[in-house]
Amino acid sequence: MKILVCISKAPDTTTKISFTDGDTKFDESGVKYIVNPYDEWYALVRGLELKEAHGGSVTTVTVGTAEDEATIRKALAIGADDATRIDVKPEDASQVAAEIAHFAKEGAYDLVLLGKETIDYNGSQVGGMLAEHLDMPFISLAEKLDVEGTTATLDKEIIGGLQTVEAELPLVVSCTKGMAEQRIPNMRGIMAARKKPLNVVPASGAAKQTSFEKYALPAPKSAVKLIDPNNMDELVELLHNEAKVI
């Protein structure tokens, strides 16, 4: 089974976020990047588990610049067989999906896995766009994936519960919590990653379809108001006139 896992980077959750140029650009100075957890913990690890169970190979693909190679090497250290970097700065989901699809069409992959979203933009757009470009079925928000022959059985999140679906390979799947358990690269994997192939290919020239006009930080949390449990009138008044939830 040939498995392709899409890997992206995201700022570490402890990173202090700020913006420049009148809040029109994300300030990357001093930002520590990690592998996007949904891509790493769930998509990549489940791909490795399927390879271990059924044989085959796991390739990662990243749309990015040379600065992304540290995160790519971590995916190799966890166990991917090889990696490809599409040499262009990612600008939006449409461009990323088109670039990955252009690469994936040549590889005849049986399964394409990616995280449900990145933890910085939380867009959940690339998977669906990628499946459309590849003319493959797309299962989103999957938290369980098993493959038997050419048939995949998946559990996916729906409102109020889970839905079990079946689909024939090839298939694109976006993975969420529950798909697999996190793997920590050991020293042997880290050393082996240095020798694994990391191929750099030129971009196809896909254009971005959106642009960012302005960034803003969330409003700071307000102070907590404590209400005497015996004073229901005050609680109702605050919920109605201040919080405006009733």
pLDDT at 224: 85
Task: Look up residue 148 and give its two tokens.
Answer: 């038997």
pLDDT at 225: 84
pLDDT at 246: 87
pLDDT at 136: 97
CATH superfamily of 2-217: HUPs (3.40.50.620)
| Tokens 């995160």, residue located | 71
pTM of the model: 0.88
Name the stretches of the chain with pLDDT < 50: none
pLDDT at 145: 98
